[in-house]
Every structure is written in structure tokens, then in C-alpha cells.
Amino acid sequence: MASYSTNEFRKGLKVQIDGVPFQIIEMNFRKPGKGAALYECKMKNLIRGTVNDKTYRAGQSIEAADVSEFTAQFLYRQGTGYVFMNNEDYEQYELTEEQVGDVGQFIKEGLDCQLIVFNNNPIAVTAPNHVVLQVEYAEPTAKGNTATNVQKPVKLETGAEVAAPPFINIGDWIRVDTRTGEYIERTKAPE
């Protein structure tokens, strides 16, 4: 199995500790007055989603994680699960609501996402940063309400609710940031 030495540590690197995949989300190099240099890492457990702090001395190594990431199309929801299909070999993977997380409220059938697989088991999904969705329901706006930064809740075709400006109406298409759940802009229907 491949491994990474401390001099190869960087943000985004996927490693395996005690058979569990982790991703380095932050790494700081520290050289104390005497002794070996230290690599202080914040590591995200890719299965549980928890974050741990680990410190390594210069020259140590960690096993590389057997993690693959590929583009997969969201097909449909099945009960509480989400079914995705690998765009290369058409193999299907099912993820739970916990694995999909908040991204689940912004994905619709046919959307391409990034699927992370560990030992041939799906563990996480990443949606595109921005998606275009149609507004299914929006409260009518009171005439003359032109105050700046006024927001109203709107319901999207996927069931998600976001805050949008008062000029957004039923049937409009809006761009939403899947990382924050925030309205970005009104746009045209996707082709």
C-alpha cells in the first residue's frame, strides 16, 4: 500500500489511519527551537464527518487511503436513500441521508455530482457549487415594499426553502449555492 511522508502532506490529501479514511483539511508546519519539525494536521473522518487534530514529526509517514472520486449522476430517491450512477461504467451506488447531508435538498434527477468511494462503498457526495432550480412557491410581495435587503422564503422544486428577494415569483429559475443554501441570482431555465 502506498504511503505519504510528512513532506508530502498538503490540504485535501486523503490518508488512512487504522483502516479509516481521513482527509487533511488544514496543515501547519512548526519548527520548535530544538528537536524535529512538527506537522499539525486537522483531519476530517470521511465516514463519520468528525474532525480530529493529529501531530506528526518530520520523517513519519501515513498510509494512503484507497479512496476514489468520480462523476456520478443522481438518479432518484428510494425511501431515505439516494441512488447515483457512475457515468463511466454505469454502476449504481446508494447513499443514506446522513452521507448525502444538506446537499440532498438541492440535487434533482439528472444532476452530475462527485461521489467518493472507499473500498467500493460510497461514503460521501459533493454537489456542484451552484445549481439552477425552479421556484415552486413564493409569497406575493406587498406593493411598494422596496426596502433593500428584504428577503422572503421561497420553496424550490426539490423541496428546499431559501430566502430570496421580493421580486422572485412562482415559476422563476434561480441559482443557489449548494454549500451555503443561499440565493445567488435569478436566471433563465437550463437547457
Assess whether the region 3-64 and the region 67-126 belong to the same CATH fold: no
pLDDT digits (tens, 9 = 90+) for 57-103: 888 888 988 888 899 999 999 888 999 999 899 999 999 888 888 88
Whether 147 shows a pLDDT value over 80: the answer reads no
- Considering the four listed CATH numbers 2.40.110.10, 2.40.50.140, 2.40.128.20, 3.40.50.720, the one that applies to the domain covering 67-126 is 2.40.50.140
- Beta-carbon contacts of 88 under 8 Å, excluding residues fewer than 6 positions away, are 70, 71
Residue 155: how many CA atoms within 13 Å on its side-chain side?
Answer: 6
Distance of alpha carbon 39 from alpha carbon 28, whole angstroms: 6
Cα radius of gyration rounded to whole Å, the chain: 21
Distance of alpha carbon 4 from alpha carbon 161, whole angstroms: 43
Q: Are 107 and 95 in contact (CB under 8 A)?
A: no
- Beta-carbon contacts of 136 under 8 Å, excluding residues fewer than 6 positions away, are 155, 156, 157, 170
- What average pLDDT is seen over the chain? 87
Whether 124 shows a pLDDT value over 90: the answer reads no
pLDDT at 179: 85
Say what percent of the chain tops pLDDT 90: 30
* Domain covering 3-64, topology: SH3 type barrels. (2.30.30)
**pTM across the whole model:** 0.72
pLDDT at 125: 87
How far the first Cα of the chain sits from its last, in Å, is 45
* Span 128-143, average pLDDT: 86
pLDDT at 103: 87
> What string of DSSP letters covers 34-98?
SS--EEEEEEEETTT--EEEEEEETT-EEEEP-EEEEEEEEEEEETTEEEEEETTT--EEEEEHH
Domains of the chain, residue spans: 3-64, 67-126, 130-187
Distance of alpha carbon 125 from alpha carbon 127, whole angstroms: 7
pLDDT at 142: 67
Distance of alpha carbon 103 from alpha carbon 128, whole angstroms: 9
* Residue 35, amino acid: G
pLDDT at 148: 65
* Span 130-139, average pLDDT: 91
CATH code linked to domain 130-187: 2.40.50.140
